[in-house]
Amino acid sequence: MRQIQIIATEDAIEDLFTKVIDKILGKREEKELPKYFTVKELADFMGLSIHTIHVKNAKQEIPGSRKVNGRVLFDSKAIIDWIESGEVKTKQERLQALENKFRERRVKR
């Protein structure tokens, strides 16, 4: 085995170690998020299966979903806010929110 001598500043070595540790721990460089996630993109982003995303969306457990030309899309800002808040609504809270939404629609008519 051949030995190599490297001459570098302390900052350069620290930077190198930080990059190596981040890579080992699986940290990714932050990249700009799209305005909307597709089901597959959201599944990849959250580390869930596509089936799980569909099931959670059908139960209205995921915020910011909408249908556009037959495709389900998720508002990335709503997803990030939801993840950061750690908020998980109970089934009763979701049903109450749905009832309120329908009441508002009836009043508008």
Q: How far is CA 46 from CA 31, 36, 49, 65, in A?
A: 15, 14, 9, 15
Residue 37: what are its φ and ψ, rounded to 5°?
A: -95, 140
What pLDDT digit, counting tens, does each position of 20-42 carry? 777 776 655 556 889 999 999 99
Is residue 1 in a domain?
no
Rounded-to-integer distance, Cα 107 and Cα 100, Å: 11
Is residue 53 in a domain?
yes
Rounded-to-integer distance, Cα 96 and Cα 48, Å: 27
Is residue 72 in a domain?
yes
Is residue 55 in a domain?
yes
Is residue 24 in a domain?
no
Query: What CATH number is attached to the domain comprising 37?
Result: 1.10.10
One digit per residue, pLDDT tens: the chain, 109 residues? Answer: 788 777 878 888 888 777 777 777 665 555 688 999 999 999 988 888 999 999 999 988 899 999 999 999 999 999 988 888 877 666 677 788 888 888 888 776 6
Rounded-to-integer distance, Cα 73 and Cα 38, Å: 5
The model carries a pTM of 0.55
The range of the structural domain enclosing residue 45 comes to: 32-108
CA nearest 72: which of 43, 101, 30? Answer: 43
Is residue 11 in a domain?
no
The structural domain count of the chain equals: 1
